[in-house]
Structures are given as C-alpha cells and as structure tokens.
Amino acid sequence: MPADYWLILPLFVAVAAGWWLGRRQLSAAYQAEKLQQTLSREYFVGLDQLINEQTDEAIESFIRALEINSDTIPVHLTLAKLLRRKGEIEQAVSIHQRLLARPDLTDTDFVRIQIALAKDYQSLGLLDRAENLLRDIIQRSKDADVRGGAQLLLIKLYEQEREWQSALDAARQLAPTRRADIQTELAHYCCELAREHEVQGRVGEAEALLRKAHGFDAECPRVSLVRADLLMRRQQWGKAVKALHQVLLQDIRFVPETIALLERCYTELNRPDEFACYLKKCLKTAPSATVIMALARCISQRRDVYAAGRFLTEELKKRPSVKGFNLLIDLHIAYGSSSARQSLTVLRGLTGQLEQSKPKYQCGHCGFSGRVLHWQCPSCRQWGTTEPVQGLEGE
C-alpha cells in the first residue's frame, strides 16, 4: 500500500548501512564477496519488492539481508515496529525474541527490546506477560527515563484492563513532570473508580476519589457531573445544584449536559424562578440549543405558549438548530390551528428522523461520532476529547 511504501522507504538505506557496519571488521575481499552473495540477493530483491508495493515481502527480504549485531539492532527494532503497526504482531514477537536471545546485548539494547516485546504482548492481549516484562524493567533499570517510560506503559496496560486503582498506584511512582503529562487521564481514572464505589454503596470513598480527581484536573467537567449524580441519589438537591453550576466555569461546551439535571433539582427544591434565572445567565455566557429550549419551556409555563413561541423564534434566528426547530413545530402542533396540524405533524416526523439520525457527540481528536457521550473515545482511546456537536445539527 502507498502508506506502507512511504513508511518503509527510509529503511532500505538503514539496511544498507547496517549491512556494512555489521561487516566492517572483515577484510575488503571478504566484504566484496559477501556483498555479491547477500546484499545483491536480498537487499536489492527487497528494494524491488518495495518499489512494486509488495511491502510484506520487502520486509522479509530486508530482515534476511541483515545480520543481527549491535549496529543493526535499531533497524531490526524499526522493522518489528512496522510489522506491529501492520497487525503482523507474531512476526514482531519473533524478531524481538531472536534479538533477546543474543548473549552480547548491552543493557540499553536489552531494555529497548524488552519494552518493544511488552508492546507486542499488549497488542496481542497477553496482558500478564506484558505486565511482568514492564515490572521487570522498572525494577532492574537504573535509567530514570527508561523506568518512567515503562511506568507509563504499565499505566496504559492497567487502563486497558480497567484496573483503575492499579493505574493510580502506578502513577504515584512517576516523577512529577511525567505525572503532569497525564493529569487528564488520572482525573478520569478517579471518576471511573468513584462510579464503581458508588454502585457498591461506598459513598465516602467515591467522594474522596472525586476530590482527588479535581486535584488532578480542576477543569474536568466530568468530575462535577459525577459528583452531582452522587448527591442527587442521596437527594441532596442544593449541593447537587452547586456541583452542576461548576460546569459553567469548567467547560461551557458541557453546560447542555447539566440542564435536565438542574431542572430536576430546582423542581425538587421548588425554585423554578432560580432555574429560569440560571438559564438566562447561560444564554448570555454559554448559549446552546438545549438552554434555549429549556428557557422556552419555562416561559411557556410562567407566561403562555405564544410568548414561548416568540422567544424561540427570535433565538432560532440567532442560533438555528434542528432541535430548536422541532420544539417550535411541537408548540404549533399543540396550540396552533387544527387546519395546520396535519401538515405540521408530517413535517415533524421528517425533522424528528433527521434529528435522530445525527450524532450528538464527536471526538475532537479523531472525529469519531455517536449519540452516546464516551469520556474515552472508543476509536482513538483519548480521554476528554469527546464533546457535544455544535451548529445546526447539534447545540
């Protein structure tokens, strides 16, 4: 494939260099003889296969052309990495195991190969083997950077296994500078674990984890949403309101996620006027289709449907959305003339299908979209990159 072609293109230069370096101790005559017998036969065959976009065959030829020694190990590691990316993980494992079998490896090369092999095992789902390798590296290596890199891989492995407490424990062993790079992930690990404790009825531990999550990432709106849910389950409506108000300060894109929850809280507190005031504040600082629709419903309850319709029409002119348009049609169906209801009902069915067919959330990192909010993108596995869709088909 063209992508593989460009990825492997620099390798044939490295293979040639590795071949030469591996034989620099030999006599000039012997080098010439081996060049004819090996490099001509394997290296140029591989180059021809590469040009013909036969990347699998080219990789095999390059591997055969290379003698394993201290100078060619980086090239072998690069070839194995390419195989892993192509999904041919067992071949990558074979290369790494052959490298580890050499008795003359330096400590640095030994650790590099072990880390690469751990990645192979993780890709194959052999998580126990990967964990044991990484733990061995962390215990044996004297290089702080190597230990830190292995620790990060171990944390990601625990994440894959959904062992959130183990991931948090492993993060404590990181240097502060490295831990700062994964603050977002750590906050979400705490939220995941808080959810588990909540289900088990361990409320105190769940609250402690949410405080820890806020310490990791004070801007994470999920922390406030999980805290509000925890408080609402205990019918602590006032505290839940305060938690939900924090989302407006943390990330205005997630304010729509709080509106239905706030409506429930304010209803339980019998404070509808305060809810309407908060919606007006949101309309100025964090406008969205959900806020506009909630405020239109408040106006309908406090005044009349015609005032709600006028408000909704004016706001839709400023910020058009399919959701808002559907609510406007619903108002006309419920309170409009009987002669128009049949046509409006047909129209509402069509626009309703349009709304239901569109994604509500999208990952800002890879573009994955869907109708469920995933705090970790199912596609690129990044944390905190999925957000409500904006614009005509969203908020």
Question: Domain of 249?
Answer: 224-286
17 shares its domain with 158 = yes
Phi-psi region of 373 (alpha: psi -120 to 50; beta: other; left: phi over 0): beta
Q: Is residue 205 part of a domain?
A: no
Query: Do 35 and 7 have their domain in common?
Result: yes
In this structure, are 297 and 391 located in the same domain?
Answer: no
What is the per-residue pLDDT for 22?
A: 52
Q: Which residue has the higher pLDDT, 67 or 298?
A: 298
Do 136 and 11 have their domain in common?
Answer: yes
Pair 27, 149 in one domain: yes
Query: Which residue from 298, 296, 286, 216 is spatially nearest to 258, judged by alpha carbons?
Result: 286
For 252, which DSSP code? G
Residue 194 lies in a domain: no
pLDDT category at 80 given cuts 50, 70, 90 is confident
**Is there a single domain that holds both residue 272 and residue 131?**
no
Name the least confident of 35-49, 153-167, 238-252, 337-351: 35-49
Task: Provide the 3-class DSSP secondary structure of residue 25.
Answer: coil
Q: What is the DSSP secondary structure assignment for residue 105, as one 8-state letter?
A: -
The answer to whether position 6 is within a domain reads yes
The single-letter code of the amino acid at 56 is: D
Which of 268, 286, 304 terminates a domain? The answer is 286
Residue 60 pLDDT level (bands cut at 50, 70, 90):
low
* Tally of structural domains, the chain: 4
| 190 within domain boundaries | no
pLDDT tens-digit profile of 361-392? 999 999 999 999 999 999 999 999 999 999 98
Same domain, 161 and 26: yes
On whether residue 12 sits in a domain, the answer given is yes
* 258 and 387 belong to one structural domain: no
Token pair, residue 91, equals: 């071949």
Question: Is residue 331 domain-resident?
Answer: yes
Specify whether 92 is located in the same domain as 25. Answer: yes
Domain assignment present for residue 379? The answer is yes
Judge if 58 and 84 occupy the same domain.
yes
Tens digits of residue pLDDT in 250-294: 999 999 999 999 999 999 999 999 999 999 999 999 999 999 999
Note whether 228 and 323 are same-domain residues.
no
Report the mean per-residue pLDDT for the chain: 84
The CATH number for 42's domain is 1.25.40.10
For 158-193, write each residue's pLDDT tens digit.
999 999 999 999 999 998 988 999 999 999 999 999
Same domain? For 230 and 338 the reply is no
The answer as to whether 352 is a domain residue is no
Provide DSSP, 167-178: HHHHHHTS-HHH
Asked if the model's pLDDT at residue 215 lies above 90, the reply is yes
Closest CA to 294 of 306, 303, 307, 283: 283
